[in-house]
């Protein structure tokens, strides 16, 4: 079994890619997770490589396969028909795990074989065969082929976070690149900045809110499509307006929300 594998990240774009040569998935609003299964015993790692198995013990116990496999995916809570990061955070704060689901969208290693050099579409075929042997809360992330605009429009109508478009013949690379693109539906409205995630010299991501009646609720993070210069300028501007009091109607845990 390999150790933690740094995940591949998607590049933020304003429009879904058109034409053939892409597959498209729903973008989930949850925690990126890497599941390391070793003959019936699973560990759950965050996108930064932290072992959070104790926080997701029910999820870890759902992987009953006697294989050695590394899954890549997203842990979510579905609320009112869509994945909801705020609800997931609330459940974590309460120690509640019964609503959590894991949507597997990639497989990196299986029974001694490093699959990262295998084309994306083939990896998903292998992944689906394994997930079909498991029961919820472990689910396969379905995809569509071809033009992504139709799926994006459907995601926008359903108030989903967006879509992720992937090149079907690409290998898996542990960095941010344009083999994976993310297109967020939140760009269609007005979403005030309610916080930010820091990096050493700039801004890693902006935390956005949305007005729902009289409440200002947390919608999720948008980021890192900026160059170093822009990121540094944003950090300087945001540092001057940081308030010790959150404007959100429902407070988030600082360690969970990465609020700056």
Dist. CA 220–CA 240, nearest whole Å: 22
Type and span of the H or E element at 195: strand 193-198
Q: Which two tokens stand for residue 222?
A: 């948008």
Of these residues, 13, 27, 64, 182, which one is catalytic? Answer: 27
For 142-158, give the DSSP string: --EES-SHHHHHHHHHT
Handedness of CA 76, 78, 84, 87 (dihedral sign): negative
Task: Decide if 27 is catalytic.
Answer: yes
CB 31 within 8 A of CB 75: yes
Dist. CA 111–CA 107, nearest whole Å: 11
- Annotated catalytic residues are 27
């Amino acid at each position: 079994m390999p150790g933690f594998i740094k995940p591949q990240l998607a590049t933020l774009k304003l429009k879904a890619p058109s034409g053939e040569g892409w597959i498209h998935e729903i973008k989930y609003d949850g925690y990126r997770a890497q599941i390391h299964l070793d003959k019936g015993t699973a560990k759950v790692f965050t996108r930064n490589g932290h072992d959070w198995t104790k926080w997701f013990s029910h999820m870890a116990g759902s992987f009953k396969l006697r294989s050695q496999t590394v899954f890549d995916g997203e842990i979510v809570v579905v609320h009112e028909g869509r994945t909801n990061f705020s609800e997931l955070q609330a459940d974590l704060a309460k120690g509640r795990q019964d609503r959590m689901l894991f949507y597997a969208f990639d497989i990196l290693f299986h029974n001694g074989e490093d699959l990262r050099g295998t084309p994306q579409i083939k990896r998903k075929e292998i992944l689906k065969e394994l997930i079909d042997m498991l029961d919820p809360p472990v689910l396969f992330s379905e995809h569509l082929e071809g033009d992504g605009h139709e799926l994006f429009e459907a995601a926008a109508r359903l108030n989903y976070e967006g879509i992720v478009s992937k090149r079907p013949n690409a290998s898996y690379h542990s960095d941010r690149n344009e083999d994976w693109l993310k297109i967020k539906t939140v760009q269609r409205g007005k979403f005030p900045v309610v916080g930010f995630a820091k990096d050493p010299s700039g801004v890693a991501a902006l935390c956005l809110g949305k007005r729902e009646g009289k409440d200002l609720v947390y919608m999720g993070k948008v980021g890192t499509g900026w160059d170093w210069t822009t990121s540094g300028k944003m950090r300087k501007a945001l540092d001057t307006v940081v308030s010790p009091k959150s404007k959100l109607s429902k407070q988030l845990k600082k360690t969970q929300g990465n609020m700056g």
